[in-house]
Structure 1
Amino acid sequence: MQFSENWLRTFVSPALDSEALGHLLTMAGLEVEEADPLAPPFSSVVVARIVETDKHPNADKLKVCKVDAGQGEPLQIVCGAPNAAAGMLVPCALVGAVLPGGFAIKAAKLRGVESFGMLCSARELGLSEDHGGLLALPEGLEVGQDVRAALGLDDIRFTIKLTPNRADCLSLAGVAREVAALTDAPLALPAIEAVAPAIDARRAIVLDAPEACPRYCGRVLRGVDARAATPEWMKQRLQASGVRAISALVDVTNYVMMELGQPLHAFDNTKLQGAIHVRHPRAGETVRLLNEQTVTPAADTLLIADEACALALAGVMGGEESGITLDTTEVFLESAFFAPAAIAGRARAFGFSSDASHRFERGVDFELARTAIERATRLILDLCGGEAGPVEDAVSPQHLPARPGVRLRPARARRVLGVDLDDDTIAALLARVHLPVRRVDGDFLVTPPSFRFDIEIEEDLIEEVARLYGYDNIPAVPPRGDLCMLERSESSRNAWDVRHLLAGRDYQEVVNFSFVDAAWERDFCANPDPIRLANPIASQMNVMRSSLIPGLAANVLVNRNRQQDRVRVFEIGRCFERKADGEPVAGFHQPLRVAALATGSAVREQWGTPARQVDFYDVKGDLEALFAPGELSFESLSHPALHPGRAATVLFQGRRVGILGELHPVWVQRYDLGSAPVAFEVDLDAVLHAALPAYREISRQPAVIRDLALVVAQEVSAARVVEVLRTAAPAIVREIGLFDVYQGKGIEPEKKSLAFRVLMQDTQRTLEDAEVEQAVEALVRQAETTLGARLRG
């Protein structure tokens, strides 16, 4: 919404400068986006009349003009404008004038002829980009008068950004009401009197869709002169409001819309046939609009039509065939109220917008239609002449908007605002914005006026009190609360500890969407019935994830598309699973998990380490570091996302907590993931409850190391052997670790040799050979008894 400050001050003129006025509007919720002068600064430019012009003796394209600039004697000025002619009123920059950009005017000689000033185009004054000739000023201006004063250029154009609920401020009258309420300055809206009909010219109006258009006013005017000139004051106000002047009849409808907020439309009455109908379209009906666009309106679009055809899109744009021209002598003037729901979105559906639709879809005062048509009638008769018929006012009262009273509890207003306003002050503030207050059982009952569509609930009234009291006057009291800082136990971890640990092992954290493509969920999770989103933000993000691994795989794809083959990423986030049918409460599980994925080279490229691809055991080591000093165990696993034979279930303290493995070759190839990524995913809760490292006394006694090579069946895992050995290990055994696996000569095909290093030590004494041998024998015996192992010779 744009408007001229000078125009606004004809309605209300508080004792505020332009900057203070803009701040006042912004703090009242009418945000001022821009406040620009209508014209850039320039000085000593006056209204002048060209008395005569002669051809320049030494230049074909120059003229020597005698100019009356109100200085007594005519000035001689050399001018090159093609439209310079005797009798024109034009801007004249006198010697000493400074034009926009700091251009100073001096007396000069042009091709041997003296020139004492400069005749200006609109571009040279910074008023527009038009530089095709001199700016022709309207007749009636006083010669010698300062151009800035003559054209009203010492003005500010305000551009305010309105929220959709404040349609009442899409007019000068609406903004003026606000300023008057905020400053207590007197409000002087234009006095509008009914125009007595001089002729009995009528056109019937039929409301075929009263729920969409409960009020429609129309009036016939005859004998108008459409070629009459629009007065300069009206042009200036329209242009300052961002509206282009077209013709007197069109300019009047735009002027009333900007002044009062009521869109109007003028039809050529001689092109209409029979009654005016406000209806929905018939099947296949089209309308050719004023913008030369032919549209086929949808069934719920409202039309203005006569007995023969559709004339206009109601509340949006008029039709070309019934539009007024410079030859129009009879006008049918329309002023109506359309329900916002009937207009909202209709213009955008056809790919354009209009000032009328912008207002109607937000809500126009349903009591304003008749007042606006009277105002427009008076202006048309004054400017274009003619005679007016009576106003036809078709109304469906039961379909007009209801204005029920809204209850306001003063005590609640005080509590919400944090300001101790007494009841009389609250009532006085509301009365300033034309909200009548009635006392009911200690509360206020406020009936909103017809132009305030935004007053519906108690909070709306509290907001009004806050605006009028002044947001700047409401103290900014910080919230207070007594909080007890809980001690963080040193015996537990949190998610940030996990993040730091993984970052320390060269992983980068990612945060992926919780919703994924259904195809990825099906492939990586074998989930045929995922939790679907009712309103996905994109077609490829239509289901909730049940695993973090697909998102990490997608990160690999994004990096590979940017020539980044080494990827190490992790994520901590929720997954979403349906609860089983037998569970007591229906709904969804939302477990928190941590997952990591690595692909590409095991280490960054360097000269000191041979290049190799990351493998299962690299990632397994990273996973075990998460639970250290706790120990994990692993069992073979068949999983849709993982490679058969290179996947394992992760067990912690005998409980399944996650999975580990290389991604399945099918998905690696299908999604172009390069070298097979290795990933793990475990419950975050299990990681957080894993024991933290604890201090253990460092022995000063020498350690004894023995190597045991045990031959076991192929299906026996090294982890299982370690588990069995630890059950028989005496207290002096500190560590048992696998260091070699052998298959080949000397070992049966169905067997394998696993070599373990056993470290034994006591903190108080040196171990004797006998007890070391006894411990080794106990370990071997346990392996033979439990696993059928034998000591390799």
Structure 2
Amino acid sequence: MLVLESWLREVANPNLNTEELTHRLTMAGLEVEGVEPIAPPFSGVVVAEIKEVAQHPNADKLRICQVDAGTGELLQIVCGAPNAAKGIKVPLATIGAVLPGNFKISKGKLRGEESFGMLCSAKELGISEESSGLLVLDETLAVGQNIRDALKLDDNVIEIKLTPNRADCLSIYGVAREVAALTDAPLKAFDFTPVPVTIQDTLKVNVQATDLCGRFAGRVIRGVNAKAATPDWMKARLEAAGQRSVSILVDISNYVMLELGRPTHMFDLDKINGDISVRWAKEGESLELLNGQTVELDAEVGVIVAGNTIESLAGIMGGEATAVSDETKNVYLEGAFWYPDAIAGRARRFKFSSEASHRFERGVDFHHVTEHMEYITRLVLELCGGQAGPIDDQILNLPERKPVQLRLARCQKILGIAVSKEQVASIFTQLGLVFTEANDVFTVTPPSYRFDIEIEEDLIEEVARIYGFDNIPDVAPIVPAIMLPTDETVRSEHTMRQVMAAQGYQEVVNFSFVERAWEEDFMGNKDPIALLNPIASQLAVMRSGLTAGLIANIVYNAKRKQNRVKVFELGRVFSRNASVHDGDLTVANVDQPLHLAGASWGLAYPEQWGLAARQVDFFDVKKDVENLYGRAAAQLTFVPLTNHPALHPGRSAEIVLEGNVVGFVGELHPVWVQKYELNHAPVVFEVTVSSLKAQALHQPKELSKQPIVIRDLAVWAPNTLAVQSLIDSIQQASRKVPELSIIQDINLFDIWKDAKSEVAERSLAFRFTLQDPAVTLEDARVEQCMAKVLAIWIEQFGVRQR
């Protein structure tokens, strides 16, 4: 928020310089991000009046001006500005003046004619980007007056970074109220005296949605002059606060919003047809806004309707149909209290923001609505003329301000200082908080403009702010160094990260909220958990998997010419689950398990001379998954997966551990590879962290001194027979068949198919590692074991030995 210092000091003017004031605000929680002067340093510029203008004899675009600078004699100035004219008052940089950029003015000669200074534009003085001509000044300014004094350029704009809970400070008066509380400076009392009611015109208003609008006030003002010029002082304050001047009626509304924090809206009364209704919008309705944007509405957006025509988005922005213009004669002034929950996030849904919605979604004072209406009406009558009708004020459903208690002992414990009862009472009085005290317990009723005071800690924060954070001693906490027991049978998440990093993966942390299209494309989730108030329109739903974020990381790096990317993430995913109930770490109906996902794309290894370059493939990542599971990898099985929306149907698999599906691994589906313009497919995996945690401890055992025996066995098997099923059958049989107990390992080392053969079978060659830890194996025992293996395969799968 931008605050003009002179405007702030007009409301509360403490005996502090700018630096001291901004420090005090920052230490009270209103962080000052910067202080910028209204105009850069310059000197020697005065108000001057052009008395005569003549054409330069030697230049078509130059003119010779005779200028009165208050010195008693006219100065000759050669000027090329197109708007130089007799009788106007303009800035004059006299001889010896120094303009922004250290530009010094001296006596000069232009095309043979002497010039004793320079007439200036706003851009040359550094106060505006306008450079089309001379800066024309108010004719009431005194000739010879220093321009910095005349235009009040020795002023500063203070930029305050407000936290979202401090909506009460989104105005000059709100910040001044804080300054007064911090410094005991007197606070200006605004004149809210009702204006004379000279007409009895009203407009019937029916508020149908009291959960949208808790209070609605309106007033008819007739006979206004909408072509009146906005006063320079109002323009200057609006511009300093980041607002551009539009027209007198709009400027008055914006000015009061900046000064008092009260967004209001002015309708052109002659464009309103019928009575006004305040309700929730209906599906299929639309509205053209003041910014020219046409928005499609639904039942979650509030609207103001005149007859059957939607006139504005409630608390957000008015409509084009009833906007005031220079031709407006009669206006309807609206001021209301809109519930923050009914406004929050609505503007972002339409991809814009407004000053009104920024305030209403944080909470606006609901008590002083009519007082502020009187204030803005007085400005309209003074600057535009007209006659005002009575205020139609409907109080419908105001928020309940529940008392909040502060225990003095609790306050002292939290702050770590012995703040006294008298100090707390004084602080609450300075803040304008109404309270009672009994037995060292303060009961405070939050005022209508403080939506951030709800619990005891909020009051403790108020005490700390006004007492001064810099007055609270910096005492380091004393924490006993007690070793906590750890469960060594549970694998830590840090260990999982170490394993992934050791395999060349880099950890990333992505948002838990993602694009809705990602959920549909990568997870097949057409009903994701939607956010009520997303930080951005595209980040509107909670993720049910980590894969989409990793693919986005790869796409980002691929566009920046990276040729190898390996990333992983360990984080929570979110899905609907009716069996989950509210708890300390749970939310009803939402399951939030931890997942670990990885994605690899590009070269399998960094480019090098000793190894041919190749792209990463399914089996590279499958091995990474097995390494991640450690000893448990022996119990992993990979089952072909054909129906995952994100994965290639022929190059992906479910990961199964002890009969339970714990994740998946596979290439990205060609559709998404093409959509994201990747030159080859990433390989991704995602597993549950719970399946990684429960790992058996390593059990030491003596290494056998007996030699191992290697035997190969090749069989003809159908093309559709999964290799894993052959290995699984032997591993299961080895627990029951004594002859198979000597098998230590089985590896597939060759797959071959005769290209000329039309038989749907292939040759699978397996290498068996055999060993008895106690005795040397004899040939007969080895042959007996291999014969048993072949017999099991023939019986279960119908294979034949090659």
> Residue 253 of structure 1 contacts residue 376 of structure 1 at CA under 8 Å; is this kept in 2?
yes
Q: Which deviates more from structure 2 when the two are superposed, residues 480-489 or residues 468-477?
A: 480-489
> Which residue type is aligned with residue 435 of structure 1?
L
Q: Do residues 336 (structure 1) and 343 (structure 2) align? A: no
**Displacement after TM superposition at 1:392 (Å):** 1.6
| Aligned twin of 1:48 | 48
> Residue 44 of structure 1 contacts residue 98 of structure 1 at CA under 8 Å; is this kept in 2?
yes
1:150-200 CA distance string (max 9 Å, x none): 001111122333344433323222221111001111212334433345xx4
- 1:689 aligned to which of 696, 700, 710: 696
| Aligned twin of 1:106 | 106
**Displacement after TM superposition at 1:97 (Å):** 0.7
> Which residue type is aligned with residue 337 of structure 2?
F
| Aligned twin of 2:324 | 323
| Aligned twin of 2:116 | 116
- 2:466 aligned to which of 468, 478, 487: 468
Q: Which deviates more from structure 2 when the two are superposed, residues 508-517 or residues 183-192?
A: 508-517
CA RMSD of aligned residues (A): 6.2
> Residue 193 of structure 1 contacts residue 374 of structure 1 at CA under 8 Å; is this kept in 2?
yes
Q: Do residues 63 (structure 1) and 63 (structure 2) align? A: yes
> Which residue type is aligned with residue 529 of structure 2?
A
**Displacement after TM superposition at 1:58 (Å):** 1.6
> Residue 121 of structure 1 contacts residue 135 of structure 1 at CA under 8 Å; is this kept in 2?
yes
| Aligned twin of 1:485 | 483
Quick one: structure 1 residues 779 and 740, their matched pair in 2 at CA, closer, same or farther if it must change by over 3 Å? farther
> Which residue type is aligned with residue 405 of structure 1?
P
| 3-state SS of paired residue (2:95) | strand
| 3-state SS of paired residue (1:53) | strand
The runs of 5 or more residues in structure 1 that have no matched partner are 523-529, 744-750, 763-770
> Residue 630 of structure 1 contacts residue 690 of structure 1 at CA under 8 Å; is this kept in 2?
no
CA distance in 2 between partners of 1:675 and 1:286 (Å): 43
CA distance in 1 between partners of 2:595 and 2:273 (Å): 74
| 3-state SS of paired residue (1:193) | coil
| Aligned twin of 1:449 | 447
Q: Do residues 148 (structure 1) and 141 (structure 2) align? A: no
> Residue 489 of structure 2 contacts residue 694 of structure 2 at CA under 8 Å; is this kept in 1?
no
User: Which is greater in Rg?
Assistant: 1
> Which residue type is aligned with residue 86 of structure 2?
A
| Aligned twin of 1:160 | 160
> Which residue type is aligned with residue 116 of structure 1?
F
> Which residue type is aligned with residue 374 of structure 1?
E
**Displacement after TM superposition at 1:14 (Å):** 1.2
CA distance in 1 between partners of 2:280 and 2:624 (Å): 69
Quick one: structure 1 residues 265 and 679, their matched pair in 2 at CA, closer, same or farther if it must change by over 3 Å? closer
> Residue 600 of structure 2 contacts residue 682 of structure 2 at CA under 8 Å; is this kept in 1?
no
Quick one: structure 1 residues 735 and 5, their matched pair in 2 at CA, closer, same or farther if it must change by over 3 Å? closer
CA distance in 1 between partners of 2:205 and 2:265 (Å): 17
| 3-state SS of paired residue (2:365) | coil
1:648-687 CA distance string (max 9 Å, x none): 9999xxx7899999979x9899989989989998996699
CA distance in 2 between partners of 1:219 and 1:540 (Å): 41
**Displacement after TM superposition at 1:482 (Å):** 2.6
Quick one: structure 1 residues 571 and 464, their matched pair in 2 at CA, closer, same or farther if it must change by over 3 Å? closer
1:666-717 CA distance string (max 9 Å, x none): 98999899899899989966994353667879x9xxx989988999999997
| Aligned twin of 1:767 | none
CA distance in 2 between partners of 1:160 and 1:639 (Å): 55
| Aligned twin of 2:234 | 234
> Which residue type is aligned with residue 44 of structure 2?
S
> Which residue type is aligned with residue 214 of structure 1?
R
Within-5 A mapping of 1:233-382? 233-265=233-265, 271=270, 277-280=276-279, 301-303=302-304, 305=306, 315=315, 316-317=317-318, 323=324, 325=326, 328=329, 331-332=330-331, 334-340=333-339, 353-382=353-382
**Displacement after TM superposition at 1:39 (Å):** 1.1
CA distance in 1 between partners of 2:649 and 2:305 (Å): 69
Q: Do residues 7 (structure 1) and 7 (structure 2) align? A: yes
Quick one: structure 1 residues 489 and 99, their matched pair in 2 at CA, closer, same or farther if it must change by over 3 Å? same
> Which residue type is aligned with residue 217 of structure 2?
Y
Quick one: structure 1 residues 759 and 154, their matched pair in 2 at CA, closer, same or farther if it must change by over 3 Å? same
> Which residue type is aligned with residue 409 of structure 1?
R
CA distance in 2 between partners of 1:69 and 1:442 (Å): 68
Quick one: structure 1 residues 290 and 607, their matched pair in 2 at CA, closer, same or farther if it must change by over 3 Å? closer
> Residue 91 of structure 1 contacts residue 120 of structure 1 at CA under 8 Å; is this kept in 2?
yes
| Aligned twin of 1:185 | 185
- 1:407 aligned to which of 379, 385, 405: 405
- 1:534 aligned to which of 529, 536, 539: 529
CA distance in 1 between partners of 2:101 and 2:372 (Å): 43
Within-5 A mapping of 1:190-209? 190-197=190-197, 200-209=198-207
> Residue 290 of structure 1 contacts residue 317 of structure 1 at CA under 8 Å; is this kept in 2?
yes
| 3-state SS of paired residue (2:7) | helix
> Which residue type is aligned with residue 71 of structure 1?
T
> Residue 203 of structure 1 contacts residue 276 of structure 1 at CA under 8 Å; is this kept in 2?
no
Within-5 A mapping of 1:697-708? none
**Displacement after TM superposition at 1:402 (Å):** 3.7
CA distance in 2 between partners of 1:576 and 1:333 (Å): 48
**Displacement after TM superposition at 1:89 (Å):** 0.9
- 2:437 aligned to which of 436, 439, 443: 439
> Residue 67 of structure 2 contacts residue 77 of structure 2 at CA under 8 Å; is this kept in 1?
yes
> Which residue type is aligned with residue 169 of structure 1?
C
Percent sequence identity is 42
| 3-state SS of paired residue (1:399) | coil
CA distance in 1 between partners of 2:271 and 2:765 (Å): 104
| 3-state SS of paired residue (2:204) | strand
> Which residue type is aligned with residue 258 of structure 2?
M
> Which residue type is aligned with residue 176 of structure 1?
A
Quick one: structure 1 residues 381 and 568, their matched pair in 2 at CA, closer, same or farther if it must change by over 3 Å? closer
CA distance in 1 between partners of 2:778 and 2:183 (Å): 97
**Displacement after TM superposition at 1:336 (Å):** 2.5
| 3-state SS of paired residue (2:11) | coil
| Aligned twin of 1:428 | 426
**Displacement after TM superposition at 1:94 (Å):** 0.5
| Aligned twin of 1:93 | 93
| 3-state SS of paired residue (2:178) | helix
Quick one: structure 1 residues 209 and 432, their matched pair in 2 at CA, closer, same or farther if it must change by over 3 Å? same
> Residue 205 of structure 1 contacts residue 216 of structure 1 at CA under 8 Å; is this kept in 2?
no
> Residue 567 of structure 1 contacts residue 600 of structure 1 at CA under 8 Å; is this kept in 2?
yes
| Aligned twin of 2:756 | none
Quick one: structure 1 residues 233 and 477, their matched pair in 2 at CA, closer, same or farther if it must change by over 3 Å? same
> Which residue type is aligned with residue 339 of structure 1?
W
> Residue 729 of structure 1 contacts residue 778 of structure 1 at CA under 8 Å; is this kept in 2?
no
CA distance in 1 between partners of 2:150 and 2:665 (Å): 83
| 3-state SS of paired residue (2:98) | strand
| Aligned twin of 1:766 | none
**Displacement after TM superposition at 1:98 (Å):** 0.9
Q: How many residue pairs align between the two structures?
A: 744
| 3-state SS of paired residue (2:372) | helix
Quick one: structure 1 residues 494 and 148, their matched pair in 2 at CA, closer, same or farther if it must change by over 3 Å? closer
Quick one: structure 1 residues 441 and 318, their matched pair in 2 at CA, closer, same or farther if it must change by over 3 Å? farther
**Displacement after TM superposition at 1:96 (Å):** 0.8
| 3-state SS of paired residue (1:159) | strand
> Residue 507 of structure 2 contacts residue 567 of structure 2 at CA under 8 Å; is this kept in 1?
yes
Q: Which deviates more from structure 2 when the two are superposed, residues 635-644 or residues 288-297?
A: 635-644
